[in-house]
Amino acid sequence: MELNVYLAGEIHSSWRQDLKEAAKNRNLPLHFTGPMENHDRSDDIGEEILGTMPTSILKDEAASSINNLRTQILLQKADVVIALFGETYKQWNSAMDAATAIALQKPLILIRPEKLHHPLKELANKAQVVVETPEQAIQALSYVFEEE
């Protein structure tokens, strides 16, 4: 039994690499997906496919339609979603992905520094598990497969 894990959230640090490595070290049967991590490409993908747009809003709309295509397809395939919130950026699309997972009855593991607890309290309350590090998230998933 392999699990599909969607990694929502911040794309400006190496947390996904840390997390994948932690999974690999434990030989866990996890298959990871997530958003485009190259921020520039994620911003430009609309124009890359549809051509130059006359305004930055239209550029954003074109990009977001392709980014949402990616997210919708991969989220539907996911058995569990992990979302990491950092201290910078608004990360409203991360909150959107996390809430969508919950509404689709897919369990959410939330990773956040303790100091973000207050603004994230409603999302934390809906998450199935709340941790502070990618390593802890992988420990939780490892437990799903352990027998003793």
Q: Is the distance from CB of 95 to CB of 103 less than 8 angstroms?
A: no
Among the listed residues 13, 41, 52, 113, the single contact to a copy of itself using CB under 8 A? 41
Question: Residue 21 belongs to what H/E stretch?
Answer: helix 15-25
CB of 18 to a copy of itself, least distance (A): 16
Q: CA-to-CA distance for 65 and 13, rounded, in angstroms?
A: 24
Any contact of residue 109 with a copy of itself (CB under 8 A)?
Answer: yes
Any contact of residue 44 with a copy of itself (CB under 8 A)?
Answer: no
Contact positions with a copy of itself (CB under 8 A) in 69-98: 69-74, 76-77, 79-80, 85, 89-93, 95-98
Among the listed residues 22, 23, 82, 131, the single contact to a copy of itself using CB under 8 A? 131
- Nearest CA to 122 out of 130, 132, 131 is that of 130
